[in-house]
């Protein structure tokens, strides 16, 4: 795989020091022992390594080791924080506050509570993606138990003013949960200074292994959390199950490295993002979906958070006039995404961008570029060149003019907002058969493939429209997913409209 890796917001590669720690933890006494079996040396060795890692991870966010609960990742941490607190304090109130731009782990946990009769207030972001503290304050009620907001958005990199929000929640006696999967190790975090009650972490976002994360649970909120699972009583009864020593040790090393490298990494990531944007300057129809500003290295205290508006190294850009899936397909040199990794298979435009007011056609033509430690300035420049070229090719396919070799008559159907914009150009023989066929389109790779096959069929010799088949047949021949059949119907509509237009023009020509 020779593609330049630019999807660090989805997952980061293991740091070499993390790999070494992981391998070491898989051998020796600690590898054999169950950390709960402290009656012998093997179990005690495993437990000691875990507690050392716990201290390292806690230090990254200004917590004490006792306040850290290990989970399988930030998704589980989000669920434990939201569901665990809501259930544990249900008798005190059944109202929660969150935002429409949160990670699916938060959205779906809140929706699950709503089915049980809880009330959820969904905050709307500003156009720049920010959630204002005054809007949080206005949403609070006497029955509010929890506010849950992410620190940095996983799609746009927009940083929320969590320090100010934490202060107002504390003043109102409301618990505050922060999803810090993207920001930990990149932005200043101090759960005591801010002050935060619950905070979710994930190792694989900071050059650690997948499958391990943590939830910070302050002593203030600990008595009210109800576990989601039951078993051996590990992690102070909040998360049962045998702890994975090797993963936790590796997580500890990753957190230690992130703590010491934060400023260095942030400057590097910001430099790469700046060079990337500079290299894209002048590209028409390029829009950035993030708050103005940046500079995650703008201070080490929570007081400096007002100057930190954007996660270093993450760039979300929407490109006018191109279809998003085809844009990714035209970029085999780059490993990047159109949005959150957990949503990439749906084909739907980003709900985060739609919540910010980004039009559907722009939201679906968005790229998320997230730089990491191993990237270079040369790669940032190369990425911009590849994107420029891909956009140029796709816009040429959708050129507003007629194809060469006219005259043509045309028909059109669909729009980018609907997923495909099709213009069809035809010439007919004297007996009404297709003599030539050309498409101009902005559409997904499957739709483009079908259009090119139809063009090739007509290029092989004049044929009747009926000989080209039906959209259902095209879908089978080209292995088009059923969810895209509507786009093939747009191809058929454009073709028939072009043929009808050509037939009408020929009829007018031969009228006496």
432: three-class secondary structure by DSSP: coil
Q: Which of 169, 342, 444, 463 is catalytic?
A: 342
- Annotated catalytic residue 444: no
Let me know: does 188 contact 307? Beta carbons within 8 Å.
no
Closest by CA position to 485, among listed 447, 445, 438: 447
Query: Which residues, 6+ apart, have CB-to-CB distance to 77 below 8 Å?
Result: 69, 71, 179, 200, 201, 202, 213, 214, 215
Q: Which two tokens stand for residue 427?
A: 């010439």
> In angstroms, what is the C-alpha Rg of the chain?
27
Walk across the sheet containing 409-415 and list its strands: 409-415, 420-428, 434-442
Query: Which residues, 6+ apart, have CB-to-CB distance to 407 below 8 Å?
Result: 427
User: DSSP letters of 190-215?
Assistant: -TTTTT-SEEEEEGGGTTS-TT-EEE
| Axis crossing angle, helix 104-115 with helix 74-88, rounded to the nearest 10 | 30
Q: Which two tokens stand for residue 22?
A: 């992981």
Distance CA 500, CA 511 (A): 17
Q: Which two tokens stand for residue 358?
A: 């980004």
Let me know: does 471 contact 489? Beta carbons within 8 Å.
yes
Q: What is the largest CA-CA distance in the chain?
A: 106
Closest by CA position to 136, among listed 125, 128, 127: 125
Let me know: does 290 contact 254? Beta carbons within 8 Å.
no
User: DSSP letters of 207-239?
Assistant: TS-TT-EEEEE-TTTGGGPPPSS-SS-TGGGTS
Q: Which two tokens stand for residue 371?
A: 């730089």
Question: What residues are annotated to the active site?
Answer: 342
């Amino acid at each position: 795989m020779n593609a330049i890796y630019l999807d660090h917001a989805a997952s980061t590669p293991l740091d070499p020091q993390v790999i070494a720690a992981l391998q070491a933890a898989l051998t020796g006494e600690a590898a054999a022992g169950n950390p709960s079996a402290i009656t012998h040396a093997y179990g005690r060795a495993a437990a000691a390594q875990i507690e050392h890692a716990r201290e390292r991870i806690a230090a990254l966010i200004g917590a004490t080791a006792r306040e850290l609960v290990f989970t399988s990742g930030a998704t589980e941490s989000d669920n434990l924080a939201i569901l665990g607190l809501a259930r544990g304090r249900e008798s005190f109130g059944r109202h929660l506050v969150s935002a429409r731009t949160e990670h699916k782990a938060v959205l779906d946990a809140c929706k699950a509570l709503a089915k049980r009769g809880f009330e959820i207030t969904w905050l709307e972001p500003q156009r720049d993606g920010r959630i204002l503290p005054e809007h949080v304050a206005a949403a609070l009620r006497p029955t509010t138990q929890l506010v849950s907001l992410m620190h940095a958005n996983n799609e746009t990199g927009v940083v929320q003013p969590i320090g100010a929000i934490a202060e107002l929640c504390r003043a109102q006696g409301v618990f505050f949960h922060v999803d810090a999967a993207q920001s930990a190790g990149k932005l200043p975090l101090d759960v005591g200074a801010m002050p935060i009650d619950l905070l979710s972490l994930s190792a694989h976002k900071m050059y650690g292994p997948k499958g391990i994360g943590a939830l910070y649970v302050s002593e203030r909120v600990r008595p009210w959390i109800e576990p989601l699972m039951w078993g051996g009583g590990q992690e102070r009864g909040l998360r049962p199950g045998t702890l994975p020593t090797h993963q936790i040790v590796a997580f500890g090393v990753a957190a230690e490295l992130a703590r010491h490298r934060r400023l260095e990494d942030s400057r590097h990531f910001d430099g790469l993002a700046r060079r990337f944007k500079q290299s894209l300057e002048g590209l028409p129809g390029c829009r950035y979906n993030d708050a103005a500003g940046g500079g995650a290295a703008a201070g080490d205290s929570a007081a400096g958070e007002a100057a930190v508006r954007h996660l270093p190294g993450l760039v979300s850009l929407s490109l006018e006039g191109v279809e998003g899936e085809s844009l990714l397909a035209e970029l085999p040199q780059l490993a990047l995404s159109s949005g959150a990794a957990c949503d990439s298979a749906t084909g739907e435009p980003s709900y985060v961008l739609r919540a910010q007011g980004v039009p559907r056609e722009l939201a679906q033509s968005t790229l998320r570029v997230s730089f990491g430690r191993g990237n270079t300035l040369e790669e940032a420049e190369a990425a911009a060149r590849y994107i420029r070229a891909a956009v140029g090719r796709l816009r040429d396919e959708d050129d507003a003019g007629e194809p060469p070799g006219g005259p043509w008559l045309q028909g059109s159907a669909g729009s980018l907002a609907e997923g495909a914009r099709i213009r069809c150009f035809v010439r007919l023989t004297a007996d009404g058969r297709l003599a030539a066929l050309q498409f101009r389109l902005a559409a997904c790779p499957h739709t483009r493939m079908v259009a090119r096959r139809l063009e090739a069929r007509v290029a092989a010799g004049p044929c009747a429209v009926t000989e080209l088949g039906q959209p259902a047949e095209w879908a089978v021949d080209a292995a088009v997913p059923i969810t895209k059949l509507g786009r093939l119907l747009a191809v058929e509509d454009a073709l028939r409209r072009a043929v009808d237009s050509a037939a009408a023009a020929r009829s007018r020509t031969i009228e006496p």
